[in-house]
Structure 1
């Protein structure tokens, strides 16, 4: 990555206010047009922008500024930064060590069976495979499907438990809500229980003699209880 000036317009504001450099020198150093630098000097541009001292940021030395002020034809050069900021790597498929690559189909089979909610893109991030391989294992058309055994990718060392839990939790957010459990049966109303009790004295199909016999038997039962 080429060395670049930090905040070019703010640096130009500072150079205009604190040096005797020409507009062309400042424009060349800050990668601006000399007319834009002139508008900064006239107050027509960059209003409200606070100047940035390139000396304090280590991008320019005071000796270079003095030399350029003495010679309008001299070009300022950006100093090499003292601290290198590492470039951020773009996220891509997870790298799997060569010694573990033969275990990836088994890990994919485990993920497909144990966590069917995971999308192909999530499995790719976890084990570093391709959609073609995942589809072949899902459809059981993989060339070695009969010899594959589902194995936990965490146990195999292909991914971490934290990464697996994160992807599973993320996939769970898109699962349909579980149906509500049916309400438990409530107590039967007293009116229904009373109707269920057989009243030997209120059976319309019985004759009067049978009703009196039932009544007599109830009386005998109560007398027996009194004797005891």
Structure 2
């Protein structure tokens, strides 16, 4: 089915103003039948004002009449120009004009010299280049290495300043987190307790006792008188 604008408001109007079944309304509005039943019971979308899909140009009277006459018929919504405009669009791959493609190696060299923390994947996405080209510029194996010089990609018109600042900020934040983790791991290793070395065994010096004292050594000999 085609996506419609204000599906719940449309369901509210269809519940209040038609004899359609819950399944028919659910199929048309992209809702679950139980949700439509909740709208009819006043438990869901209580404060939402109904929107007439025919006034909005999303349903024809003929489709509504067919559905009310046949409970098995599923209404087909009219393609709304406004609905198409409101659909989110996915941004495709970054396109760089041919006149600017020759400047990409200069921008890559600028990143390599000034912001080594920015990954090759981030550079490739931002500049619309390839990892092999980035590697060749870094290793100076690029076919035009002699003429490559670092130039700010904003100056070259390849990216906007806000885009560049965002990429550099994210890369710096990631590097800071990685450095913090590695620093904490290193500190934990350095702070590990070191077992105290046992002192070398030194035998005690034993004092050799002298000879037993004699009377002569204590009182002296007669010759000394």
**TM-score category (smaller protein):** 0.5 to 0.7
Q: Which residue in 1 is equivalent to 2:124?
A: 124
Q: Which residue in 2 is equivalent to 1:48?
A: 44
**Post-superposition offset of 1:20:** 2.4
Q: Which residue in 2 is equivalent to 1:95?
A: 95
Q: Which residue in 2 is equivalent to 1:19?
A: 18
Q: Evaluate the alpha carbon distance shift between residue 9 and residue 143 of structure 1 in structure 2; reply closer, same or farther with a 3 A threshold.
A: same
The 4+ residue runs of structure 1 with deviation greater than 6 A are: none
> TM-score, normalising length from structure 1?
0.57
Distance in 2 between residues matched to 1:70 and 1:175, nearest whole Å? 63
- Asked if 1 retains the 8 angstrom alpha-carbon contact of 2:63 and 2:76, the reply is no
Deviations, residues 136-169 of structure 1 (Å, cap 9, x unaligned):
2222222322332222222222122222222222
- Asked if 2 retains the 8 angstrom alpha-carbon contact of 1:93 and 1:129, the reply is no
Q: Which residue in 2 is equivalent to 1:78?
A: 77
Q: Which residue in 1 is equivalent to 2:213?
A: none
- CA root-mean-square deviation: 3.9
Gaps of 5+ in 1: 180-228
- Asked if 1 retains the 8 angstrom alpha-carbon contact of 2:14 and 2:25, the reply is yes
- Asked if 1 retains the 8 angstrom alpha-carbon contact of 2:11 and 2:29, the reply is yes
> TM-score, normalising length from structure 2?
0.58
Q: Evaluate the alpha carbon distance shift between residue 95 and residue 15 of structure 1 in structure 2; reply closer, same or farther with a 3 A threshold.
A: same
Q: Evaluate the alpha carbon distance shift between residue 69 and residue 147 of structure 1 in structure 2; reply closer, same or farther with a 3 A threshold.
A: closer
**Post-superposition offset of 1:132:** 1.2
- Asked if 1 retains the 8 angstrom alpha-carbon contact of 2:94 and 2:128, the reply is yes
**Post-superposition offset of 1:67:** 3.4
Gaps of 5+ in 2: 184-225
Q: Which residue in 1 is equivalent to 2:139?
A: 139
- Asked if 2 retains the 8 angstrom alpha-carbon contact of 1:93 and 1:124, the reply is no
